[in-house]
Amino acid sequence: MPKISSKGLNMPQSPIRKLAPFADRAIEEGKKIYFLNIGQPDISTPKAALDAVKNNNLDILSYSPSSGFDSYKKKLAKYYVENSIDIDADDLIVTTGGSEALLFTMGSITDPGDEVIIPEPFYANYSGFAVAFGVIVKPVVSNFEDNFALPPISEFEKQITEKTKAIIICNPGNPTGYLYTKDEIQKLADLAIKHDLFIVADEVYREFVYDDEEHHSIMSLPELKNHAIMVDSVSKRYSMCGARIGCMVSKNKELMATALKFAQARLSPPTFAQIASEAALDTKKDYFIEVNEEYKSRRDTLIKALEDIEGVKVAKPKGAFYCVAELPVEDSEDFAKWMLSEFDVDGETVMVAPAAGFYSTPHTGMNQIRIAYVIEKQNLLKAVAIIKMALQAYAKR
């Protein structure tokens, strides 16, 4: 029998999606599930984006340029300038989601055996992309107790070797919701310059910032001109996960010329999705004000309800729409499977994401879960009530 590749065998399963078979069986059994495991917003996609596709009269659904349509790139660059990120259209490549931007980045800056440093817990696909390119992830653990703030820079320096190529961050963070301060971003910038590293910043949740805090982009520091790489996407910003449109942004010309070769190899990003994404850029700022207020209200509702459960602790997020909670269990994955397969309250149960899958360090985060607060508040409260009863029943098994 032909052998499967070692990188394929080592590719980690998604902690967000790996329990899907348990959920499928629960649905087949007639159970209703409150899905807290995946960051699929329930906010309506801007009408202008949907109408741009619906009312389009294209005669031929043709390729776009490999780097994306010029009209979209120029409009997108204007959006960034309005958000204090000084770039032009030539500094970006349109990608098939933020995921492809990460793949282009990894392919452009690393060779097999190279290393990247990532504060953990981190978006699990970073590890998957690293495995795909034969790259080694060197984790730096951030602490639940301080809401997953940036670890001391000395911890990063301990991990730097001649093979280190980049530091990767998500800001605001998935799965933690942590928002890096201006000082933390500056410390990372100083470290990158000192050791001549790239900084890759996944900023897809830029708009979702709470408590009068401010998002500080890695692209806003002129001294990082040749070091900074930003990954972005329309998925969360406009509730357009299915559009699969993102971008890779950098002012490093050699890097972008290299990334363009990867873009040419996959031909082009999808045409209709770019049309929708270009139209979405006309969305009024009021949209984000209302969405932010809704997510903040959900966050506050969720955290209060979780903190009222005996033995549960919550790290308070300041951005994105995720939080990490510690449960009074030894293995949150077993608990999550059990909730789907053996527990319900009047035919209803909950699906969460075990947080261990967001760590690279073995046996870390075993008692933690990630919750995406992307459902309405009344349903969040129902879900937390079910989790509370599930924890009580689980302890008595």
Q: Show pLDDT as tens, one digit a residue, over the chain (397 residues).
A: 999 999 889 888 887 788 999 999 999 999 999 999 999 999 999 999 999 999 999 999 999 999 999 999 999 999 999 999 999 999 999 999 999 999 999 999 999 999 999 999 999 999 999 999 999 999 999 999 999 999 999 999 999 999 999 999 999 999 999 999 999 999 999 999 999 999 999 999 999 999 999 999 999 999 999 999 999 999 999 999 999 999 999 999 999 999 999 999 999 999 999 999 999 999 998 999 999 999 999 999 999 999 999 999 999 999 999 999 999 999 999 999 999 999 999 999 999 999 999 999 999 999 999 999 999 999 999 999 999 999 999 999 8
What fold does the segment set 6-44+286-395 form as a domain?
Answer: Aspartate Aminotransferase, domain 1 (3.90.1150)
Q: How far apart are CA 117 and CA 160, in angstroms?
A: 8
Query: Which H/E stretch holds residue 10?
Result: helix 6-10
Judge whether 6-44+286-395 and 58-280 match in fold: no
CB-count burial class (<10 Å; 0-12, 13-18, 19+) for 145: exposed
For the chain, what are the domain ranges?
6-44+286-395, 58-280
Nearest to 181 by CA among 233, 223, 146, 222: 146
Nearest to 386 by CA among 351, 341, 357: 351
User: What pTM was estimated for this model as a whole?
Assistant: 0.96
246 - beta bridge partners?
Answer: 95, 233
Neighbours of 185 (CB within 10 A): 22
Contact by Cβ (8 Å): 94, 247: yes
**Domain formed by 58-280, architecture:** 3-Layer(aba) Sandwich (3.40)
